[in-house]
Structure 1
Amino acid sequence: MLRYQDFPTDKKVFIFELDDVIYPKRDYLLQVYYLFANFLEFTETFPPQADLVTFFKNHLDSQGEDMIFEHAAEVFHFDLKYKEHFERLFVNAVLPVKLLMKDGIPELLTAIVNADKQICILTKGNPLMQLNKIKHMEWGPLASKLKVYFVDELKFRNLEPLDYIAEELQIAKNDFIYQDC
């Protein structure tokens, strides 16, 4: 568990990855899989939503995210035409339950803010999907204290993310700390 007292006190900016640092990425994935399973059962009447969700969960735990759709389609014999819908859900899903931060993270972020330090999120992956995750997080009063940057967007613009953040915030690179997975 990350705690404020475990970080150097001289840092002005704390930069965190979103997935598996701020919250468990698995929580987002399982909700998207649930939404897709409901959609597919409603559309095709098969497979049963609970069976498909169980398959997704077991696949995620044992083999990860890679090829999860293709393996599910093979096992449950549904049409590959649903892959576009599956992928679109990751970007624009309206989650049934807010995403909660990992244990200790709300206290860590609050301690950083109370120490008059700045918090940034620097997150990898599709910026639209990452933004959707951020939108569904339970930030509470911390929401207005965050500055968000997207690695993929910055790299697309041929910018080194940490250099860009340091320049934008007008700080030296040794004035921040970056915590990723």
Structure 2
Amino acid sequence: MPRRGGARPSHATPPHKYHHRSATLPPPPPSNSQGSQGRGEAPSFLAAIALRPARMANAASGMAVDDECKLRFLELKAKRTHRFIIYKIDEKKKMVVVEKVGEPVLNYDDFAATLPANECRYAIFDYDFVTEENCQKSKIFFIAWSPDTARVRSKMIYASSKERFKRELDGIQVELQATDSAEVGLDVIQGRAN
């Protein structure tokens, strides 16, 4: 009897080692060699825990916003010191940062030329126009630029971070989603401004 009782720890050892391995390595294929009842559930439970941080890293609220993003936006809104602002997500820093600021003398064509053909961006454009009543007005556009040719991962990150980023910029009047230059053409801007 003592020998049989002493044999139990040797049966418990493989799951114990497996338990430690699963925290750092992907779980091996399921096997039917588990001797004790109920222990077969441990691998799937541990695998779920090991995968949880990866899911959280891809969640919507993962991107911080650099203070300069808000500062430049406030300058555009209050002082009209910029015609446009281009923002990009720095994936290494996990942060939205200012990529380029356009001078007030620049026009819409200058702005459109700064949007990269194969990469996503957020952009602010301050559009000046004259109403039918001959009144000078301006509207602040937020543009989510996500070209079809951009990487799928990049499109997902920009889409999932957009709402949080927009909340940091108080004063946006019109929002546009664009996947190609036609969707963000001057005629579209003019139509949405009125």
Q: TM-score, normalised by structure 1?
A: 0.31
Greater RCO, CA 8 A, separation 6+: 1
Q: Counting strand residues as a fraction of each chain, which structure ranks higher?
A: 2
Q: Counting helix residues as a fraction of each chain, which structure ranks higher?
A: 1
Q: TM-score, normalised by structure 2?
A: 0.30
